[in-house]
Amino acid sequence: MNTITHSSSALASLSTAQVMELAQRYLTPNYKRFPVCLVRGEGSWVWDAEGNRYLDLFPGWGCGLLGHCPPRVVEAVQAQVAELIHVPNTWYTVPQALLGQALVERLGFDARCFFCNSGAEANEAAIKLARLYGHPHGRYKIISCTGSFHGRTYGALTATGQPKYHAGFEPLLPGFRYAPYGDLEAIARLVDNETCAILVEPIQGEGGIQIPPAGFLEGLRQVCDRHGLLLILDEVQSGMGRTGRWYAFQHWKITPDIVTLAKALAGGVAMGGMIARAEVAEKLQPGTHAATFGGNPLAARAALATVETIEQQGLLARATAIGERFRQRLEALRQRAPLISDLRICGAMIGIELHTEGEPIVHACLQRRLLINCTQRTILRLLPALTISDAEIDQGCDILAEVLTSLES
């Protein structure tokens, strides 16, 4: 048995090959990993164990809204870890209370926050609350959309409208129905007297940066009002300023009943949250739901630093500017690279749909030290940090152009 050590020198002494060998020996094989071991990050850059530097346009799978190791978050975490890391929610803590205030004040309506550790947990909380709210009236069914992604825990997995993620885990949680994203009439047809809620992403992320058609979200609000349903918006990927608004739904001037957050919420520290309209949140009385680590002082302090950074650095406006710069560069590239069939951009959520498989392009970019993502087989997905510079955007687009035009030729 080896002696355990966490010293920086010992960690730095391991090569990528050694880390891969350890991972293959001791970790479950449920992740498809690139043969790269990342050891350090700063802003939009990461370094591997051999010292190679990569431009990251998909930091933390969307968690890196502020880039890697954002200074205010690092400072806040270092301060908090020396004061109080964790206590259960049988006690009040200052960071959690202040974070609740910060999120609700930017929401636009009276609401209450429940904190957890991930997007899947946040959506599980929303599902439980919706069913709890509808229970006195025999309502338990939830409508979600095809192409959606809400998480991999059992309820969130069932809500996810992609059969490929369901395979092998049946029977799933009963009471879920699916309709095409953007098809208001199809959703309305699924409503019956046992329906309690509609759950959608305002912008589908894993589905390929699918932006809703005009009137869709407003129409969902009307359907919910007409039938007494809760409207749940999954903002795990689109929230916290990524689209140029604190919450993506604010582009459409609607009021949801429940909003879920995670990913960028705490600047890279694991945290999720569910925010529910005050009247709805009252159903969550003691004993109905809980999360041992939810809203712990460390994560809450990191989230407060994230909110502060977004506000003080004007990153909502920056998200909009980032989207416009990518749009200009990618539209120009589209004229030279017919492989691009469509562009979908909302702030710093960028989808590049292709006429071909996207995975080889991801690998070709990796060889050129550029990190991007492919979803739904043919869609390149970029979720850059809001702290990315124009020069870094241009550098990433130059590499992407080199890869795409080389494939064309």
* Known binding-site residue numbers for pyridoxal 5'-phosphate: 119-120, 149, 234-237, 292
Distance CA 84, CA 206 (A): 36
Distance CA 99, CA 312 (A): 16
Known binding-site residues for N(2)-acetyl-L-ornithine equal 152
What are the structure tokens assigned to 9, written together? Answer: 């020198």
Residue 212 is classified by DSSP as: P
3-state DSSP call for residue 323? helix
Known binding-site residues equal 119-120, 149, 152, 234-237, 292
3-state DSSP call for residue 159? helix
**Residues contacting 220, CB < 8 A, separation 6+:** 184, 187, 198, 200, 231, 254
As beta bridge partners, residue 17 has none
Residue 82 is classified by DSSP as: T
Go through 313-344 and write b for each residue having 16 or more CB atoms within 10 A of its CB, e for each that does not: eebbebbbbbbeebeebbeebbeebebbeebb
Report the amino acid identity of residue 157.
L
Residue of 85, 52, 35 lying closest to 368 (CA atoms)? 52
Provide φ and ψ at 121, rounded to 5°.
Answer: -65, -40
Find the radius of gyration of the CA atoms of the chain: 21
Region class of 324: left (phi > 0), else alpha (psi between -120 and 50), else beta: alpha
